[in-house]
Amino acid sequence: MKIKTLILTSFGKFKDRVIEVDDGFNLVYGENEAGKSTVQHFIEGMLFGFYKPYRKKRTYSEDFERFKPWGSDTYCGAMVMEQDDGREIRIERDFLKKQDGVKIYDNVTGEDITALYPYDNVTRQNLPLGDLKVNSVVYNNTVNIKQMASASDADLAKEVNDRLIELGTAQKEEVSLNRVMGYLENKKKSIGNYGQSKSNYGMAVRELKDLERALDEGERVYNVIQKNQKRIQQYKKKIEAAQSKCRNQSEKTQAKTREELKNMREKVRQIKSEGEALSSRLAELEKYGDFDTRTYGRLKILQSNLEGAEERIKTLSREIETLEGKCRDITGRCNRIKRSLKGLSRNEVQMDYQKYQYALENPSVIEREQEHIEVQVSTLNRVSNGMLILLMVLGAILVLVTAINPGNFLAGAVLVFVNFLGWFLGLGGAALMIYKMKSPGGLEPETAEDGQEEYDEVPLTAVEAILQKYGKNTREEYEAFVDKAEEIFNRLDKLTMDENVFLTQVENKKKELEEVTHNQISFETELSEELEKAGVENIEAYNEGCQYKNELEKVRAELAANKRLYDELGGGNMIKVDLDAGEDDNPVIMVAPDGEKIRAREALLAFNQEVSRLQGENSMLISSVSNPVETREKIETLKNQISEYEEDLRACDMALEIFGRLSKETHYDSAPVLNDKIGDVLYSITRKYKEVKIDDKLQVKVVSPENGDLLDIEKLSGGTIDQIYFALRFGVGNMLEFDKSLPFVLDDPFVQYDLARKTEAVRFLWNISKGQQVLLFTCSGDEKRILDHNEFCYSGIIL
């Protein structure tokens, strides 16, 4: 198929633009932002529309909005193509969502032949490419090479394997392992795997681990609680026994020593003092109650983003300064070149050179023109002589009239003026006559030159005048000067083009700098607002606040335990009672191993303190863990769910393994042919690498021509990698047997090529253009110079 005409009725920046395309090699030139990519996407859109592939329902791609015209209610176009059978068809497409559709007409008769083409149930449209079985994925990874997109899409490998299987079977129906394996992969993806923490499977596994850890921790904590509870019961029994013994002893005797009562009172006061200190510390820490670690983490992220933005601003500023320095350097070089030209323009030098050549080729014409000018000069001399004599006569008459003044008809002032005028005319005419008689040529040189300027097309002095104008003594010197001037003008044009490129880069960097600066202000504002809301000056202070928040929780727990102990001991009331108590109601209840006697009140105080401590510890432990019974139920539910996921994954893996073996076997059978095709293309454009190895995922390795080593393409230069992917695209298209049915469309594919690589690539494209239409979009003049230098035939299109 060949493209004949592109009609961009309303598409992107184009409005009612018609582009005629010829057979063979078409070089489409346009500056940056001229619309090259727009035209390339227009061709793609006319063939496939802007829909995402492999969808169960019609879904528009990002290019739909990207090329939607601004300020226009229409979004459409047409394209005339010649099919392989010679029939011309006209494809008309409306891209708007509510009325999108495609119509196909016979371009000769105007007959609507849309129904003759296959129908796509997803897009609900007919397919202009008929039975080629080419979708947008294959198209964009073979014959359509977009700007900065040399590498092939991963989906291409699946399409290639599908096509190879289909070509290798005897069935006529389409065999799409791609769809079956895609369904299985999507199902696996929806389940996820062990390492994907955000997938269903991964979240279930992670939640199970968390619950198991929580169960272990809960069981450990509840064991501690049970042990504490047993100890509490034991202490309560001891307390009860001690209290009973105290009561019995109190009935028998009074307290024996006041010192022990004072010690008891002092301990209770100490508990109260500790409680007051804890309350005071709690009041100091209350202001940190709203601090939390999640906010601190978010502040750290904001701080990191802010630092990254500031670093990027510095980098961009340096890059802008460097680019502006290059622009200033180029401007200075251009100014020096212009000064060296001394005001000469390319047009002036070229026109003088044409006159120079004309004078050399037509000397007789120059002589006739010279005689004509001499006659004119002689005539001018005679006329000027007459004018000077007339001035002298007129001056003499005026002087004579003022001298006679008949009848005194002239007043005094008028008489003086007329007399002055007469003398001025007479003497001026005489002076000019004398000067003219003394000049050698009669007519002044300036006047002769003025007469000569009337015949600039073929000057009187011809070659001599041009040599004199440029200060050259010989024709060889002048011709060398012309050649040198042409080189200078070319260098000036190249510098101007480089300056424009740098200015564009400066503009892009400034736009990015503006965006990064905006982000920096946004990060800084959000960070400041969060810190101001928390009442701190910096993120380190907020971190300290989080630590104080932890201390606050600890103080609250200690204060609660202290209050319980103080209340259980009776607080101030007990102190008052004990002040009057005697030693007889504080009997010895046990003797320590070292022989020390332990009395009831000291034991009660110690027992109650330990009970309060254990109760406080139990309260904190219970609030810190979940109930083990509930946790076990959740774990059982998650294990059942994970088992279902694992069973589904094993089934999918088994099916994928079977289909994968079939795909690999098919690729293994076709690999030698594919390797040879791509190797031939690669050698034709690199003149170095000829042997390649390609796996079923279209991963390429090349064989080193020096030592036969198998090289990963990542070890090669960027330009060579682009050449390999270029060869891969062409070889795959040739392998799938549709490459010559579609035009080869390329948008600046050689940006990483040096001149030698670019020359071989252009030569390769020109060779294939003998049997396949090629559209090469470029903003560089290199491709045109290569084509012209090699005298290759091509059609030029300027956007």
DSSP string, 50-98: SB-SS-SS--B-HHHHHTPPTT-S--EEEEEEE-TTS-EEEEEEE--GG
Check whether 276 has a pLDDT greater than 60.
yes
The reported pLDDT for the residue numbered 168 is: 44
Q: Are 787 and 24 in contact (CB under 8 A)?
A: no
Domain ranges of the chain: 1-134+743-799, 291-342+468-535, 363-457
**Sign of the alpha-carbon torsion through 201, 205, 210, 216:** positive
Of the pLDDT bands very low, low, confident and very high (cuts 50, 70, 90), residue 460 is: very low
Name which residue leads in pLDDT, 651 or 632.
632
Quote the CA–CA distance of 576 and 71 in Å, as a whole number: 92
Helix (H) or strand (E) holding 102: strand 101-106
Query: Of the segments 107-116, 233-242, 290-299, 466-475, which one has the largest average pLDDT value?
Result: 107-116
Quote the CA–CA distance of 274 and 280 in Å, as a whole number: 10
The reported pLDDT for the residue numbered 172 is: 37
Check whether 590 has a pLDDT greater than 70.
no
Burial 129-148 (b: 16+ CB within 10 A, else e): bbebbbbbbbbbbbbbbbee
Name which residue leads in pLDDT, 233 or 425.
233
CA 792 to chain centre: 37
Check whether 94 has a pLDDT greater than 90.
yes
Give tens-digit pLDDT for 481-515: 888 888 888 988 898 898 899 899 989 989 989 99
Q: Which CATH class is domain 291-342+468-535?
A: mainly alpha
Of the pLDDT bands very low, low, confident and very high (cuts 50, 70, 90), residue 570 is: low
The reported pLDDT for the residue numbered 45 is: 94
* Amino acid of residue 414: V
Quote the CA–CA distance of 250 and 724 in Å, as a whole number: 104
* Amino acid of residue 726: F
Quote the CA–CA distance of 252 and 254 in Å, as a whole number: 7
Of the pLDDT bands very low, low, confident and very high (cuts 50, 70, 90), residue 2 is: very high
Residue 282 CB coordination number (10 Å):
15
Query: Of the segments 204-213, 352-361, 601-610, which one has the largest average pLDDT value?
Result: 352-361
Question: For 36-50, 79-93, 531-545, 712-726, which range has the lowest pLDDT when averaged over its residues?
Answer: 712-726
Check whether 592 has a pLDDT greater than 70.
no
Quote the CA–CA distance of 760 and 756 in Å, as a whole number: 6
Name which residue leads in pLDDT, 69 or 56.
69
| 267 burial via Cβ count (<10 Å: 0-12, 13-18, 19+) | middle
Please tell me the pTM assigned to this model.
Answer: 0.41
Q: What is the mean pLDDT of residues 81-89?
A: 90
Q: What is the mean pLDDT of residues 769-773?
A: 89
32: which 2 tokens?
């940056």
The reported pLDDT for the residue numbered 90 is: 96
Alpha helix stretches (DSSP H) within 454-474: 462-469
Check whether 752 has a pLDDT greater than 70.
yes
| Mean pLDDT, the chain, whole residue set | 78
CB neighbours of 464 closer than 8 A, spacing ≥ 6? none
CA 548 to chain centre: 44
CATH number of the domain located at residue range(s) 1-134+743-799 in this protein: 3.40.50.300
Instruction: Report the percent of the chain where pLDDT is more than 90.
Output: 18
Q: Are 682 and 648 in contact (CB under 8 A)?
A: no
Q: What is the mean pLDDT of residues 398-410?
A: 69
Check whether 448 has a pLDDT greater than 70.
no
Instruction: Report the percent of the chain where pLDDT is more than 70.
Output: 76
Q: Are 677 and 734 in contact (CB under 8 A)?
A: yes
The reported pLDDT for the residue numbered 334 is: 87
Quote the CA–CA distance of 161 and 69 in Å, as a whole number: 38
| Strand spans (E) along 592-728 | 597-599, 692-694, 700-703, 710-712
Question: For 28-32, 124-128, 382-386, which range has the lowest pLDDT when averaged over its residues?
Answer: 382-386
The reported pLDDT for the residue numbered 586 is: 66
Helix (H) or strand (E) holding 145: strand 144-145
Residue 87 CB coordination number (10 Å):
12
Question: For 95-99, 285-289, 438-442, 695-699, which range has the lowest pLDDT when averaged over its residues?
Answer: 438-442
Residue 97 CB coordination number (10 Å):
11
721: which 2 tokens?
């990698």
Of the pLDDT bands very low, low, confident and very high (cuts 50, 70, 90), residue 166 is: very low
Instruction: Give the residue among 192, 187, 165 at the shortest CA–CA distance from 177.
Output: 165
Tally the residues of the chain. Answer: 799
- DSSP β-ladder status, 101-106 and 88-94: antiparallel
Helix (H) or strand (E) holding 20: strand 14-20
Helix (H, G, I), strand (E, B) or coil at 699: coil
Quote the CA–CA distance of 227 and 1 in Å, as a whole number: 87
The reported pLDDT for the residue numbered 442 is: 45
The reported pLDDT for the residue numbered 575 is: 47
Give tens-digit pLDDT for 207-262: 778 888 888 888 888 888 888 888 888 888 888 887 777 777 666 554 455 566 66
Give tens-digit pLDDT for 648-681: 767 667 666 655 554 555 555 556 766 777 777 7
The reported pLDDT for the residue numbered 235 is: 82
Question: For 315-324, 611-620, 643-652, which range has the lowest pLDDT when averaged over its residues?
Answer: 643-652
Of the pLDDT bands very low, low, confident and very high (cuts 50, 70, 90), residue 165 is: very low
The reported pLDDT for the residue numbered 432 is: 79
Of the pLDDT bands very low, low, confident and very high (cuts 50, 70, 90), residue 92 is: very high
Check whether 171 has a pLDDT greater than 50.
no
Of the pLDDT bands very low, low, confident and very high (cuts 50, 70, 90), residue 292 is: confident
The residue written with tokens 């002044």 in the block is 444
Helix (H) or strand (E) holding 745: strand 744-747
**C-alpha dist (Å) from residue 434 to 378, 381, 427:** 18, 14, 11
| 621 burial via Cβ count (<10 Å: 0-12, 13-18, 19+) | middle
Quote the CA–CA distance of 460 and 366 in Å, as a whole number: 6
The reported pLDDT for the residue numbered 17 is: 95
Helix (H, G, I), strand (E, B) or coil at 170: coil
